[in-house]
Structure 1
Amino acid sequence: MDMSYVIVAALFVLSPLLLFHALLKSTTAEPPLLKGRIPLLGVALDFVNGPQPLLERARKKYGWIFTLYIGGRRMTVVSDPVVGMRQVYSQSRNFDAHAFFKYLNIQLFKYTPRINSDAAFQEALLRHVVSYLAAPANVEEIASVMRKEYRALVDENSDLCTGDYADRNGTVVDLYNFARQKTYIAAAIAVFGKAFPAKEIYTDYITYEDSLSRFIKSYPYIFNKRGVDARGRVLEYLADFFTDNEKSSQSSSFITGISDLFRKFGYLSPDDLSGYFLSIVFASKSNSVPMAFWYLAFIIHDEQFRGEVMKIITSHYNSTTQDFDWQALYRDELLNSAFKETARLVSNITSGRVVCRDSMIKIADSKAPSSTKEFYLRKGDSVLVLASMSHWDGEAFPEPMLWNARRFMPENSGKLIKHDKASKDGDPQWKAYIPWGGGGHMCPGRHLAIVEAITQLVYVLWYFDVEKLSADVPQMNVGENYGSGVLKPSSTYNVRFRRREAPATKA
């Protein structure tokens, strides 16, 4: 066949698509549009291969709002910490979080369609989760069990230590694997009870967790086989656990309260239970556990600050009860500042909303924040707020990629955190710190995250002398994981653990 005919035929077939792409543009009322060079795909390949450089280039060129054209859809990125992000979080009539979560519920957790589409049931579950974790007494119920379990995991006689971390001569470990395993198991037992198969599902769960970005991006099975198969095995364990009342009844009142709602609404099939409770495992582990690692790693690496932390820990130890004043530790101003700084630096959360009707959004001028302009957003498009675009903004947080434990201390307001209060010239207050999202769907697990991090920190520094062996704290593994949650380390962080003969009891 003459190749000229093939070329003409191909052009005839593709011409409508090419014409559509050529005419694709934003109106003067809409945010600037990055449509890319490839019809239909748009900037999809650039976004998959290097989302962070793409987004940073776009923000530098266009400011605090722009739209990406990806796979036939428009996704508008809003990074305006003055007025824009607040509207995305608060205007639920215009920007619907439920549609975004319904997609993730299927992609990540394999919700059954009937649960995913039952708005009343979803609302009842959300109310229970938010109200329960907002009560300090409820958080303490879980925290007290977690402390007991974590202490057992690092105790000299623990079968999970088996000498590896109890060696007084010093054992080299990768701190991330250590922290990940210990915090995961202690927190899982605290939330789901002693009968929960925490150790049995651990390996499969972290395989699934490490594949999250592939689930979110809808990779075909052949490119996500390990993740899909691991998730399937985890779901089987969860189905077995939550259909066995004798086992699941040993869970915390947080979980038994959720189980009561499942019975009330009549959702009792193994698939109904396993999909939803996988999302609870994810919510309680997949961001707080790596956060706890980074918190510990940054403090261990800064030896001077570690000494200050040790004094704080020791000052709250009661030799009579042989326990700590945990509430004082959880409230400590410096420990909280270090935790907030850790969350700022490593949080890579995406908050997504679907535009449920044609809307206008007001965006501040990045160069003159007291001035604003309105932009038109189309019904059916998506709006994304990416935490790292605010957290790594040098205008909001000077030296943004530097971990500074004192950044959130009161005396550094306006210095290490700029624009955190209204300025004298009338510029409005910035809200650039958003590690937990915002609005009615702000992560309720934030109340437990700091408890997990401080509990691990206290017990590790109390029982072990920890010698850092790596020159630096690892870089964050951004890559294709951009926007999928708290970032994991890109390399190992080796330390040497030496168990103390006896913990210090004097400051």
Structure 2
Amino acid sequence: MMDPALITSSLLVVLAALSIFHLQLRSIGSEPPLIKGRIPILGVAFEWFYEPGAFLESIRKRKGWIYTLYMAGRKMTVVSDPVIGITQVLTQGRVFNAPIFFAFLNKQLFGFSDATMDDNRFRDALNTKLVQLLSNKSKMSQIVELLTATYRGFVDETSGFCQREEVIDLYNFARYNMYTASATALFGPSFPIQKTFEPYIVFEENLLSYIRKVPRFLNPSGYNARDRTLEIIGQFFTDDEKVAKSSEIVRELREVFQRPEYGYTRPEDFAGYFLSIVFASKSNSVPAAFWYIAHIVSDVELKTEVENIIAANYKKATGSFDWDELCRDELLVSCFKETARLVSNVTSGRYVTQDTILKVADPLNTGSDWKKSVKEYELHKGDSVLVIGNLIHWDPQAYPEPMRWIGKRFLEENKGKLVMHADEWRSYLPWGGGGHMCPGRHLALVEAVVQCVYILWFFDVEPIDKLPSMFIKHKYGTGVIRPDKPFNVTFKRRTIPLQ
């Protein structure tokens, strides 16, 4: 039996060594300022896990547009300089490598199989095919047509929904209906939408548990929900009969899996990748569509303007809308861009592949002579660099009154007033950046406009509650923020169409 005194003294030596190591941690030379926290090894882990948004915002105010966090033995450099630094990170792919960073997320968050994770050529082929499909005008027209038909079926006169007046939590209403309509349009009517909805919502609520590698025994319901969602998706993609009745996008992406040079046909090979597609198309665009309509109906004057735009684009002869015009309308687009600016919180991560110099502007001197105040910082091979959306989108130097939703902010007339340095700074990144920008960003706009048009066309909507605040902790850095409480509104079916 070991001597208790020896055990105690050994522990004290280890703690002393860790404390000395922690005290000696500092930025060297021209490295970014180091935020190391007070606890050896853990560093700032508690602050990051407890309230990351407020924590990072407080550092930005003290340290500026670049700093390095020390957490659990690792260093992560945060860059929020829209003047020059972000562009360098997002465009210099050989130095700031995105695939290495996303490989971690794909495995940890979506459960990619080991075989598909290790095949870079296969994943590049999949991404190329997806971009081609979502850039094809004919295929996008088919998606929009099915989206509008499906969503209209939930709310029109034949739906049986809200024949007179009803009080509705707009978030749950929008989440279910847009999830269903969007999944039908993107994956086809044979996709198991209803079977995946409940487990997927639980999965969505537990995103940070997977990223933070929380042990399964501490969150069994979250891991079980992810497993169930993966199981349902895997079963679908190995069912030839159901896939044959699915969308063209599903069939063409599945064909890439089955090419002779890849030959990935197991349920687990399909499941992880297509869960990431569901996530990208539902966990961000669906809540964005909610915030879009919620902000519009909460502003009486703006709602009237939007209703007039909807009425002007209704084609009585065909009983349909001019969706192309609606999705190009300056006010509707501005409202969507403002929604994405305020509520999207996406992290673009990069792995540094070689020692390099990152140039960053001085936030205290960003006038016309900002080039004279550029600072250079050393980054080292193996470092991680994070570009976090809200640090840019909520920066008052780029967006005056940044926490206020202003639907007309992005109108041309408000350049230089409500959007500063719009043509010079890279201060709008709700869809990521570089070669890994979200290919579904155009569909997200369509989904928001379709929901807004049909709700306001068929119903007079009056808020009962005040607009809820944003609840960011549960998915910080992983996508669009949800409301912190229900948002009850009155739906009253119109007896006279909008004029």
TM-score interval, smaller chain: over 0.9
Tell me what 2:103 maps to. 102
> Which of 416, 441, 444 is the aligned partner of 2:439?
444
State the secondary structure of the residue aligned to 1:376.
strand
SS at match of 1:295: helix
Kindly indicate whether the alpha-carbon contact (under 8 Å) linking 1:173 and 1:497 is maintained by their aligned counterparts in 2.
yes
Q: Which residue of 2 aligns with 1:498?
A: 492
Q: Report the counterpart of residue 450 of structure 2 in structure 1.
A: 455
- Indicate if the aligned counterparts of 2:168 and 2:490 stay in contact, CA closer than 8 A: yes
Deviation of residue 67 (structure 1)? 0.2
Alignment of 1:412-451 (within 5 A): 412-421=414-423, 429-451=424-446
Structure 1 residue 381, shift from structure 2 partner:
1.3
| Paired letter, 1:293 | F
Q: Which residue is 1:124 aligned to?
A: 125
Partner of 1:262: 257
Distance 1:460 1:315 in 2: 16
CA distance in 2, matches of 1:449, 1:177: 18
Question: Please, which of 145, 152, 162 is the counterpart of residue 166 of structure 1?
Answer: 162
| CA displacement at 1:223 relative to structure 2 | 2.5
Per the TM alignment, residue 5 of structure 1 is displaced from its structure 2 partner at its CA by 5.6
Are positions 1:222 and 2:224 aligned together? no
Please report how far the alpha carbon of residue 222 of structure 1 lies from its aligned counterpart in structure 2 after TM superposition.
2.2
Q: Among 467, 472, 476, which residue is 2:470 paired with?
A: 476
Q: Distance in 2 between matches of 1:9 and 1:262?
A: 55
- The letter for the 1-side match of 2:184 is I
Structure 2 matches for 1:392-411, cutoff 5 A?
A: 392-411=394-413
Separation of aligned partners in 2, 1:218 and 1:415? 43
Counterpart of 2:480? Answer: 486
Partner residue, 2:186: 191
In the alignment, structure 2 segments of 5+ residues that lack a partner are none
Contact 1:310–1:461, Cα closer than 8 Å, also in 2: yes
The counterpart of 2:235, out of the listed 226, 240, 243, is 240
C-alpha deviations, 1:401-449, integer Å up to 9, x for none? 111111000000000001123xxxxxxx111111111000011110100
Task: Judge conservation of contact 1:397–1:416 (CA < 8 Å) in 2.
Answer: yes
Offset of residue 143 of structure 1? 1.1
Give the equivalent residue in structure 1 for 2:364. 367
Q: Which amino acid aligns with 1:272?
A: D
Shift of residue 496, structure 1, vs aligned partner: 1.2
| Partner Cα separation in structure 2 for residue 225 and residue 304 of structure 1 | 47
Shift, 1:44, TM fit: 0.4
Any residues of structure 2 matched to 1:29-428 within 5 Å, and which?
A: 29-158=30-159, 165-168=161-164, 170-264=165-259, 265-369=262-366, 370=370, 371-421=373-423
Q: 2:31·2:378 contact (CA, 8 Å) conserved in 1?
A: yes
Q: TM-score normalized by structure 1?
A: 0.94
- Percent of aligned pairs with the same residue? 49
Partner Cα distance (1:448, 1:152) in 2: 19
**Are the aligned partners of 2:461 and 2:492 in contact in 1 as well (CA < 8 Å)?**
yes
SS of equivalent to 2:56: helix
| Equivalent pair of 1:407/1:417 in contact (CA under 8 Å) | yes
Shift in Å, 1:37: 1.0
Partner SS, residue 131 of structure 1? helix
The runs of 5 or more residues in structure 1 that have no matched partner are 422-428
Q: Which amino acid aligns with 1:286?
A: S
Matched letter for residue 231 of structure 1: R
Answer yes or no: is the 8 Å Cα contact 2:206–2:474 preserved in 1.
no
What secondary structure sits across from 1:280 in the alignment?
helix
Q: Secondary structure at the match of 2:77?
A: strand
State how far apart, in whole Å, the 2-side matches of 1:300 and 1:349 are.
Answer: 26
Q: Does the 8 Å contact 2:207/2:474 carry over to 1?
A: no
**TM-fit CA distance, 1:120:** 0.3
1:167 is displaced (CA, Å) by 3.3
CA contact (8 A) 2:205 2:474 kept: no
Deviation at residue 157 of structure 1 after TM alignment: 3.6
Q: Give me the whole-angstrom Cα distance separating, in 2, the residues matched to 1:135 and 1:374.
A: 42
Specify the code of the residue in structure 2 equivalent to 1:383. Answer: V
How far has the Cα of 1:131 moved from its partner? 2.3
Counterpart code for 1:488: R
Distance in structure 1 (CA, Å) of the matches to 2:53 and 2:21: 28
Q: Give TM-score scaled by structure 2 length.
A: 0.96
Count of residue pairs the alignment pairs up: 491
